[in-house]
Chain A
Amino acid sequence: GQNIDQPTEMTATEGAIVQINCTYQTSGFNGLFWYQQHAGEAPTFLSYNVLDGLEEKGRFSSFLSRSKGYSYLLLKELQMKDSASYLCAVRDNYGQNFVFGPGTRLSVLP
């Protein structure tokens, strides 16, 4: 079966660092993706990991451990505009189908 787990909600302060965790159990694995979704809008791509380790893109970094079925998204120097839901998604081996987690709603407070 497919199971992706994320915390439901997180709160952090402007300027701080926050780490959003994702654990997964899927029948296949061909990459892990993080998407940002503002309320009422479509998800937008943030990062992609297929090998173990850390991928850094500006204020956002994503880490993957395939042996542990674990990833995290790290957001640095938080800004108010970072308040959004963050979706973890795994692409399976058999095609380009993605399985999405439930999303983590992040609130950035002044």
Chain B
Amino acid sequence: EAEVAQSPRYKITEKSQAVAFWCDPISGHATLYWYRQILGQGPELLVQFQDESVVDDSQLPKDRFSAERLKGVDSTLKIQPAELGDSAMYLCASSSPGQGYGYTFGSGTRLTVV
């Protein structure tokens, strides 16, 4: 079964440092999402890509977060500088038009900022 690949699985970083996460969606999925999930809460959308274009980044804290999907395939989410409140699970998901069953999520990156 096709999967969304994410790395690293876990990341511990000190506050004020830079951190990056990588996602490779299911082959052929044009739409890619980055979500942040704080412990005990539901996922919140950070950014949505359609191919290489950003469709929605209204909830992305642009002073410290950036995301790119240069060739419309894999994507990188960066935080610089990291803050204690950024500790969360960062989930990547992908979908294709007409995919009635919704997203396929990757395994996520658990970020701890110390």
Binding site for B on A (CB under 8 A): 4, 31, 33, 35, 40-45, 48, 50, 87, 89, 91, 95-103, 105
Contact = CB atoms under 8 A, between A and B. Distances in A.
A45 B102 contact: yes
Contacts of B91: 42-43
Contacts of B48: 95-97
Interface stretch (B71-79, B80-88, B105-113): B105-113
Nearest to B103: A98
A110 to B, nearest CB: 24
Contacts of A102: 40-42
Interface string B32-60: 01010000111111001000000110000
B32 to A, nearest CB: 11
A97 B42 contact: no
B45 A97 contact: yes
Nearest to B9: A40
Given A42-B105, A99-B45, 11 more contacts: A43-B43, A48-B100, A87-B42, A96-B31, A97-B33, A97-B45, A101-B42, A102-B40, A102-B41, A103-B41, A105-B40
A33 to B, nearest CB: 5
Given A45-B102, A91-B102, A95-B55, A103 B42 contact: yes
27 contacts: A4-B42, A31-B100, A31-B102, A40-B110, A41-B107, A43-B43, A43-B91, A45-B101, A45-B102, A45-B103, A48-B101, A48-B102, A50-B100, A87-B43, A91-B102, A95-B48, A95-B56, A97-B48, A98-B45, A100-B35, A100-B42, A100-B43, A102-B40, A102-B41, A102-B42, A103-B40, A105-B40
